[in-house]
Amino acid sequence: MNYDFNKIEQKWQKYWSENQTFKAVNNSDKPKYYVLDMFPYPSGAGLHVGHPLGYIASDIYARYKRHQGFNVLHPQGYDSFGLPAEQYAIQTGQHPAVTTENNIKTYRRQLDQIGFSFDWSREVRTSDSSYYKWTQWIFIQLFNSWFNIATNKAEDISVLETLFSVEGNNKVNAVCDANIELFSAEEWKSYTSKQQQKILLKYRLTYLAETEVNWCPALGTVLANDEIVNGVSERGGHPVLRKKMTQWSMRISAYAERLLQGLETIDWTDSLKESQRNWIGKSVGASVSFKILAEGENFEKGIDIFTTRPDTIFGVSFMTLAPEHELVSQITTAAQKTEVEAYVLATAKRSERDRMADVKTISGAFTGAYVEHPFTKEPVPVWIGDYVLAGYGTGAVMSVPCGDQRDYAFAKHFNIPIINIFEGADISEEAFSDKDKTIIANSDFLNGMNYKKATKRAIFELEQIGHGEGKTNYRLRDAVFSRQRYWGEPFPVYYVNGMPQMIDGAYLPIKLPEVEKYLPTETGEPPLGNATVWAWDTETNTVVANSKINNTTIHPLELNTMPGWAGSSFYFNRYMDPDNQNEIASKGALDYWQDVDLYIGGSEHATGHLLYARFWQKFLFDKGVVPVDEFAKKLINQGMILGTSAFAYEVSSYYMVNGEKHIVPLSKPIFVSKAVYLKSSVSKRKDIYDAKTFEHTEIDFQIIKLIESNVKEGFLNEPEFNLNPIHVKVEYVNASDELDIDGLKQDAEFGDDYKEAIFLGEKGQIIISDNDVYKVSREVEKMSKSKYNVVNPDHIVSDYGADSLRLYEMFLGPLEQYKPWNTAGITGVHGFLKKLWKLYVDDNGLKVTNAAPTQDHLKTLHKTIKKVQEDIENFSFNTSVSTFMIACNELTSQKCTSKDVLEPLLVLISPYAPHIAEELWSKLGHKESISTVDFPKFDGSHLVERSKNYPISFNGKMRFTMELPMDMSKDAIEKAVMAHEKTQEQLAGRTPKKIIVVPGKIVNIVG
**Among 16, 306, 572, 921, interactor with RNA by CB under 7 A:** 306
**Residues 342-361 within binding reach of RNA (CB under 7 A):** 355-356, 358-359, 361
Question: Is cis: bond before 217, omega within 30 of 0?
Answer: no
Residue 2 backbone dihedrals phi, psi, to 5 degrees = -90, 165
First to last CA, the chain: 62
**Residues 782-811 within binding reach of RNA (CB under 7 A):** 811
Smallest gap from Cβ 386 to RNA, in A, equals 5
d(CA 154, CA 142): 9
d(CA 131, CA 126): 6
DSSP secondary structure letter of residue 789: -
- 685 near RNA, judged by CB under 7 A: no
Decide if 448 contacts 186 (C-beta within 8 A): no
**Residues 856-885 within binding reach of RNA (CB under 7 A):** 870, 876, 878-879, 881-882, 885
DSSP secondary structure letter of residue 546: G
Smallest gap from Cβ 119 to RNA, in A, equals 31
Count the residues of the shown chain that bind RNA, applying the rule CB under 7 A: 86
**Among 237, 244, 818, 851, interactor with RNA by CB under 7 A:** 818
**Among 819, 862, 915, 942, interactor with RNA by CB under 7 A:** 819
- 319 near RNA, judged by CB under 7 A: no
Smallest gap from Cβ 1003 to RNA, in A, equals 8
Q: Compare residues 369 and 829 and give the one whose CB is closer to RNA.
A: 829
- 485 near RNA, judged by CB under 7 A: no
Q: Compare residues 444 and 873 and give the one whose CB is closer to RNA.
A: 873
Smallest gap from Cβ 630 to RNA, in A, equals 20
- 606 near RNA, judged by CB under 7 A: yes
Work out the angle between the directed axes of helices 5-19 and 914-923 (0-180°, nearest 10). 90
- The burial class, CB within 10 Å (0-12 / 13-18 / 19+), for 593 is buried
Q: Compare residues 170 and 736 and give the one whose CB is closer to RNA.
A: 736
SS3 assignment, position 499? strand
- 814 near RNA, judged by CB under 7 A: yes
d(CA 9, CA 797): 10
Q: DSSP of 565-589, one letter per residue?
A: TTGGGSHHHHTTSTT-SSSSS-HHH
Q: Compare residues 506 and 988 and give the one whose CB is closer to RNA.
A: 988
- 503 near RNA, judged by CB under 7 A: no
HSE-CB for 295 with a 13 A CA cutoff: 6
Smallest gap from Cβ 409 to RNA, in A, equals 8
Smallest gap from Cβ 762 to RNA, in A, equals 11
Instruction: Rounding to the nearest 10 degrees, give the CA dihedral for residues 630, 631, 636, 642.
Output: -120
Smallest gap from Cβ 957 to RNA, in A, equals 6
Q: Compare residues 493 and 635 and give the one whose CB is closer to RNA.
A: 635
Instruction: Name every residue whose Cβ is closer than 8 Å to that of residue 49 and which is 6 or more positions away in sequence.
Output: 641, 783, 791, 792, 793, 796, 805, 809, 821
SS3 assignment, position 861? helix
d(CA 171, CA 184): 10
**Among 69, 602, 825, 999, interactor with RNA by CB under 7 A:** 825
Stretch that binds RNA, among 307-315, 537-545, 593-601, 652-660 (CB under 7 A): 307-315
- 813 near RNA, judged by CB under 7 A: yes
**Residues 886-945 within binding reach of RNA (CB under 7 A):** 886, 889
- 946 near RNA, judged by CB under 7 A: no
Decide if 649 contacts 672 (C-beta within 8 A): yes
Q: Residue 549 is which amino acid?
A: I
- 656 near RNA, judged by CB under 7 A: no
Q: Compare residues 371 and 397 and give the one whose CB is closer to RNA.
A: 397
**Among 1, 345, 766, 958, interactor with RNA by CB under 7 A:** 958
d(CA 598, CA 479): 27
Which residues are paired to 965 by β-bridges? 947
Smallest gap from Cβ 254 to RNA, in A, equals 18
Decide if 609 contacts 41 (C-beta within 8 A): no
Task: Give me the helices (H) in 49-95, please.
Answer: 52-67, 83-92
Instruction: Name every residue whose Cβ is closer than 8 Å to that of residue 482 and which is 6 or more positions away in sequence.
Output: 222, 245, 247, 248, 560, 561, 562, 563
- 999 near RNA, judged by CB under 7 A: no
Q: Compare residues 79 and 311 and give the one whose CB is closer to RNA.
A: 311
d(CA 784, CA 806): 22
Element (H, E) at 209: strand 206-216
d(CA 953, CA 956): 5
Which residues are paired to 661 by β-bridges? 656
Q: Compare residues 355 and 859 and give the one whose CB is closer to RNA.
A: 355
Q: DSSP of 715-772, one letter per residue?
A: --SPPEEEEEEEEE-GGGB-TT-BB-HHHHHH-GGG-GGGGG-EEE-TTSPBP-TTSS
**Among 832, 837, 840, 875, interactor with RNA by CB under 7 A:** 832
**Among 249, 573, 607, 898, interactor with RNA by CB under 7 A:** 607
- The burial class, CB within 10 Å (0-12 / 13-18 / 19+), for 201 is middle
**Among 104, 160, 200, 322, interactor with RNA by CB under 7 A:** 322
DSSP secondary structure letter of residue 457: H
Work out the angle between the directed axes of helices 793-800 and 826-840 (0-180°, nearest 10). 30
From residue 205 to residue 244, the character string flagging contacts with RNA as x (rule: CB under 7 A) and all else as - is --------------------xx--x---------------
d(CA 808, CA 576): 32
- 736 near RNA, judged by CB under 7 A: yes
d(CA 118, CA 66): 12
Stretch that binds RNA, among 131-139, 306-314, 842-850, 911-919 (CB under 7 A): 306-314
**Among 6, 94, 538, 603, interactor with RNA by CB under 7 A:** 603
Q: Compare residues 180 and 356 and give the one whose CB is closer to RNA.
A: 356
Smallest gap from Cβ 674 to RNA, in A, equals 12
Smallest gap from Cβ 733 to RNA, in A, equals 11
From residue 446 to residue 475, the character string flagging contacts with RNA as x (rule: CB under 7 A) and all else as - is ---------------------------x-x
**Among 210, 270, 971, 981, interactor with RNA by CB under 7 A:** 270
Give the residue among 622, 566, 532, 629 at the shortest CA–CA distance from 265. 629
Task: Give me the helices (H) in 204-285, please.
Answer: 256-262, 270-280
- 602 near RNA, judged by CB under 7 A: no
Smallest gap from Cβ 782 to RNA, in A, equals 8
**Residues 402-431 within binding reach of RNA (CB under 7 A):** 404, 406
Give the residue among 517, 526, 572 at the shortest CA–CA distance from 36. 572
- 992 near RNA, judged by CB under 7 A: no
d(CA 391, CA 824): 52
**Residues 146-185 within binding reach of RNA (CB under 7 A):** none
**Among 128, 386, 595, 630, interactor with RNA by CB under 7 A:** 386
Q: Compare residues 656 and 962 and give the one whose CB is closer to RNA.
A: 962
Smallest gap from Cβ 786 to RNA, in A, equals 17
Q: Compare residues 721 and 732 and give the one whose CB is closer to RNA.
A: 732
**Among 35, 397, 783, 868, interactor with RNA by CB under 7 A:** 397
**Among 158, 955, 969, 984, interactor with RNA by CB under 7 A:** 955
HSE-CB for 752 with a 13 A CA cutoff: 0
Q: Compare residues 82 and 364 and give the one whose CB is closer to RNA.
A: 364
Stretch that binds RNA, among 457-465, 621-629, 759-767, 951-959 (CB under 7 A): 951-959
